[in-house]
Chains A and B, each alone.
Chain A
Amino acid sequence: MVKKTLIPIGPYHPLQEEPELFKLYCEGEIVKDIKWETGYNHRGIELLSEKKTYDQSFFLVERVCGICSTSHPFAFANAVEEIVNVEITNRAKYIRSIIGELERIHSHLLWVGLAGHFLGYNTVFMWAWKYREPILDLFEIISGNRNSYAMFKVGGVRRDIENNKIPIIKGILDKFKKKNDLLVGAVMDDPVIHARTKGVGILTKQDIIDYAAVGPTARASGIAMDVRKDDPYAAYPLVNWKVITAEKGDVFAKAEVRLLEMYESISIIEQCLEGLKKEKEGEISVKVKEIPAGWGTGRAEAPRGEVFHYVLSDGSNSPARHKIRAPSYTNIATFKKSCIGQTISDATISLAAVDPCYCCTERMAVAYDSKTKEKILNGNELIALSVKKTNELRNK
């Protein structure tokens, strides 16, 4: 009789933005079923936001996610400004888009690094995280913070990007672009990475529609969905760029979409910096006296996909209801489609492909025999399984 094994992945790791526990039910090496538990980090932010003023809520929603910390204030600002019906200045639009795109670059680099590490390519991990550093430095130059930038408010942004900083930012981006070419080449041209990621964890168009998946996960399955194009906001309608899609829906397609998106992001930032030069310095916000009663729905394209905020205002200085939907909420659920039937070593990279933080696997995953309750594999041994498969392919 085949021994059934339960492999838990999760729930905690300090780097993880979404603590969660995946239980993989395996027969031999094949994943047969998956159960999911979450709520470990449920902080009641939606309810908390109703106790804060609109200004304070920006700092609160910035802390929904540590990695893409601007996407939530972005969507929240779009929602509140829809209620107020205010048009922000072009300079503020450019600054918002620059922050949003820098964030996409650093988030995608983080993902590429972790995916590399997971497949046993620690060089990719080190390169990606090394080249991510100058991007974080850029954030410090622009906002004073490497993370949680506190740039957004109703009617504009809190800090200007002075024109004398533009050449510095461009210089850093130019250097980064060359390094990024190296990284993208290393990932896209490696036959072993192809062997490990092509045809693995496939999501079809129908799966994407069924699970309402968004962002690179959807775009890698051939659905050209991007809030920046579909429901334009900030400076995105003012600049030229294209939506990157791939057709296959496997892990490689998701990597391809993210890697190529970084070039689009760089292009958007460069155009926004040019745009800044044409606008008057200091015109970064419009005065908003009060938020009238009404509702607003704001969206923003975060690195992981569409962030959705619904804000109900009763005319007071705090939201009467504030609903937040992060992209991973719908993306993670696709795990059930992409992983069942895969081997354990492929299941983990398939999970990683939708970009939840999966670093937990390294520290927390322990495989128990479901009958004897004895440990079979720990986290490092699980990664070793994945690395071993890569090495075998390499040797072939």
Chain B
Amino acid sequence: MNTDEILKIIKEKFSSDVLDVFKKTETRANITIKPESLVKINEYVFKDIELRFIIATANHTKKGFEILYHYSKDDIGLIVNLHVILPVEKPEIESLTCLFSAANWIEREIHELYGIVFLNHPELEKLISEGNWAEGVYPYRREFK
């Protein structure tokens, strides 16, 4: 399966959940999806297309909290980012720990740095600042003028 086929199949299968598909190069692509369809699209790319989960990146921008789930298709060197935007007022999203254990730590890390809540996470405790950081203060959040 090549890059175009992967993007096409995701776009067709989840036509109402995919907001935007951007193919930057032959080996880099970004797919913006609705936060509520996160689990079913991730399940499809992880189990059916067999992409490898690399990591997730969170960012606080003027649009809200953005999370990129990076996946790799190793045989063709492709990196696909599944991109969701969460509102600042209610930063909640389903956890992916139901699909793979690799989501466990990074979701805990994002939770403590940005205050994003991952629903149905088995142990949403602090990962890197246990016992040495104030509650309710999120160091990676930004202030916009």
Contacts and interface: CB of A to CB of B under 8 A. Distances in A.
Interface string B42-76: 00000000001111010100000000101010111
B102 A212 contact: yes
Interface of B: 24-25, 27-28, 30, 52-55, 57, 59, 68, 70, 72, 74-77, 79, 81, 100-102, 104-106, 126-130, 132, 139-140
A230 B77 contact: yes
Interface stretch (A168-176, A281-289, A323-331, A348-356): A323-331
Contacts of B75: 230
A359 B55 CA distance: 27
A330 B77 contact: no
B56 to A, nearest CB: 9
A323 B70 CA distance: 11
Given A37-B130, A230-B75, A212 B139 contact: no
Contacts of A38: 127-128
B59 A212 contact: no
Contacts of A323: 55, 57
Contact of A212 (B52, B79, B127, B140): B52
Shortest 7 CB-CB contacts between residues of A and residues of B = A39-B128, A231-B77, A212-B102, A323-B57, A325-B55, A230-B74, A321-B59
B105 A333 contact: yes
Interface in A308-330: 308, 310, 312, 321, 323, 325, 329-330
A150 to B, nearest CB: 26
Contact of B102 (A211, A225, A299, A321): A211
29 contacts: A38-B127, A39-B126, A39-B128, A44-B139, A46-B140, A47-B139, A209-B52, A210-B100, A211-B100, A211-B101, A211-B102, A212-B53, A212-B102, A225-B52, A230-B72, A230-B76, A230-B77, A231-B72, A231-B77, A232-B77, A295-B30, A296-B28, A310-B57, A310-B68, A321-B59, A329-B106, A330-B55, A330-B102, A336-B101
A297 interface: yes
The CB with the most chain A CB atoms within 10 A, among B57, B81, B128, B130, is that of B57
Nearest to B77: A231
A82 interface: yes
Q: Which applies to chain A's interface (DSSP): helix, strand, loop or mixed?
A: mixed
A212 B100 contact: yes
Interface of A: 37-39, 42, 44, 46-47, 82, 209-212, 225, 230-232, 295-297, 299, 306, 308, 310, 312, 321, 323, 325, 329-330, 333, 336
B28 A82 contact: yes
A297 B79 contact: yes
A212 B28 contact: no
A297 B28 contact: yes
Contacts of B130: 37, 39
B101 A210 contact: yes
Nearest to B27: A231
Contacts of A306: 54
B107 to A, nearest CB: 12
Given A39-B128, A42-B129, A209-B100, A225 B59 contact: no
A296 B25 CA distance: 11
A329 B55 CA distance: 9
A308 B101 contact: no
Contacts of B76: 230
Contacts of B126: 39
Given A47-B139, A212-B54, A232-B77, A39 B129 contact: yes
A231 B57 CA distance: 20
A323 B105 CA distance: 15
Contacts of B74: 225, 230-231
Contacts of B27: 231
A15 B69 CA distance: 33
Contacts of A42: 128-129
Given A212-B100, A296-B28, 8 more contacts: A38-B128, A209-B100, A210-B101, A231-B74, A232-B77, A306-B54, A329-B106, A333-B101
